[in-house]
Structure 1
Amino acid sequence: MNLKRWLYLFWTTLVVGAAGSLIVGLLLQWTSTVELKGTADFLVNVGILLGVGIMVSVYSQMGFFAYMMVNYMGNGVFSRRTWLYVQIVLTALALLELMFFRAFVGGESRGASDMVLGLILLVIAVGVAFLKARMTNATAWVPTLFFMIAVTIVETVGVLKIGVDQATAWIAAPLIACNAYQILILHRILQPKNA
């Protein structure tokens, strides 16, 4: 990874986050009772949606590089097979935390919303892992699932504490899009030019 490739990843992820936030934000506002009074309100609103998407994409990139460091250290500390099992266990625990533990153990009242988010995240993660395995090799399954589920859940903890479904959708959708984009594009960015 050189600076040029990293900058490409950085800027394209910003675009993915901004576009995701804009699309989801406009859909949420279209279905709610928000009244925009004139063109100026609409343009300010679009600017806010794009700004939030850019911030979410930067947050996603921090999580992605943190994941890459954890993955590097995990491969150094554990054997390859043990590290795969550790990732599977951590992924299952993160999914259980989101879908069940928050509602039944933590006393959160948003059990249905968290379960729906967990199922959506699981379906998307399996799809992304399938694509990643087809683009690279079968050993990419578990790390991709770990990143798409466990890391995304850790990244969404802040918005989950707010307890508002629209806010969760507005932040989680571009975050999931950015995470999927980064994990799917990584092998292309790391490929040597002559390959």
Structure 2
Amino acid sequence: MNLKKWLFLFWTTLVVGAVGSLIVGLLLQWTNTVELNGTADFLVNIGILFGVGVMVSVYSQMGFFAYMMINYMGTGVFSRMTWLYIQIVLTALALLELMFFRTFVGREDKGSSDLMFGIIVFATACVVAYFKVKMTNRSAWVPTLFFMIAVTIVEIVGVLKIGVDQATAWIAAPLIACNAYQILILHRVLKPVPKTA
């Protein structure tokens, strides 16, 4: 990874986050019939949605690079199979935390929302892992699931504490889109550039 490749990943992820936030934010406002008073309100609203998407994408990138460091250390400390099993266990624990522990142990009263969100995260992770395996190899399945489930849940836990479904959707959608984009494009970004004679 050199500076040029990192800048490409950085800027394209910003675009993914901004577009995702704009789409989801406008859809949520349209379904809630938010009234905007004139062109100025509309432009300010677009700016806010765009800005939130950019911030979410930066947050996603921090999580992605933290994951890459954890993965690097995990493969250095543990054997390949042991690290694979650790990722599976951590992924399962993260899903259980989101879908059940928050409701039954933490006494949170958003059980159905958390369950639905957990199913969405799991389904999205499986789709992303499927395409990642098709683009690379079978060994990418578990790390992709780990990143798309465990890391996404850790990143979104602050928003879940707010307890507002619209806020969760507004932040989670661009975050998941950015995470999916980064994990799917990583092998292309890291591919060595062929040398010309």
Q: Structure 1-normalised TM-score? A: 0.99
RMSD: 0.7
Give CA-to-partner distance per residue, 1:137-186, whole Å, 9 cap, x none.
00000000000000000000110000000000000000000000000000
Match of 1:20 in 2: 20
Structure 1 counterpart of 2:191, which letter? Q
1:12-69: per-residue Cα shift (whole Å, max 9, x none)? 0000000000000000000003110001100000000000000000000000000000
Equivalence for 2:115: 115
The match for 2:87 is 87
Offset at residue 115 of structure 1 (A):
0.5
1:136 corresponding residue in structure 2: 136
Q: What do the CA deviations read for 1:66-115 (whole angstroms, capped 9, x no partner)?
A: 00000000001100000000000000000000000000110000000001
Shift in Å at residue 193 of structure 1?
Answer: 1.1
Q: Work out whether 1:173 is the aligned partner of 2:169.
A: no
Which segments of 5 or more consecutive residues in structure 2 lack a partner in the other structure?
A: none
SS in structure 1 opposite 2:172? helix
- What is the CA–CA distance in structure 2 between the aligned matches of 1:31 and 1:168, rounded to whole Å? 15
Partner Cα separation in structure 1 for residue 3 and residue 20 of structure 2: 25
Corresponding letter in the other structure for 2:58: V
Counterpart secondary structure, 2:161: helix
Could you say which residue in structure 1 is the equivalent of 2:60? 60
Residue 125 of structure 1 and its aligned partner are, at CA, apart by 0.1
Q: Which amino acid aligns with 1:63?
A: G
Aligned to 2:104: 104
Residue 157 of structure 1 corresponds to which residue in structure 2? 157
CA positional deviation for 1:194: 1.5
Q: Whole-Å Cα distance in 1 between the matches of residues 92 and 114 of structure 2?
A: 15
Aligned equivalents of 2:31 and 2:21: distance in 1? 15
Mapped to 2, the partners of 1:157 and 1:77 lie a distance apart of 28
- Matches of 1:83 and 1:157 in 2, distance apart? 24
Once residues 131 and 194 of structure 1 are traced to their aligned partners in structure 2, the CA distance between those partners, rounded to angstroms, is 25
Superposition misfits of 4+ residues, deviation over 2 angstroms = none
CA distance in structure 2 between the aligned counterparts of 1:194 and 1:138, rounded to whole angstroms:
25
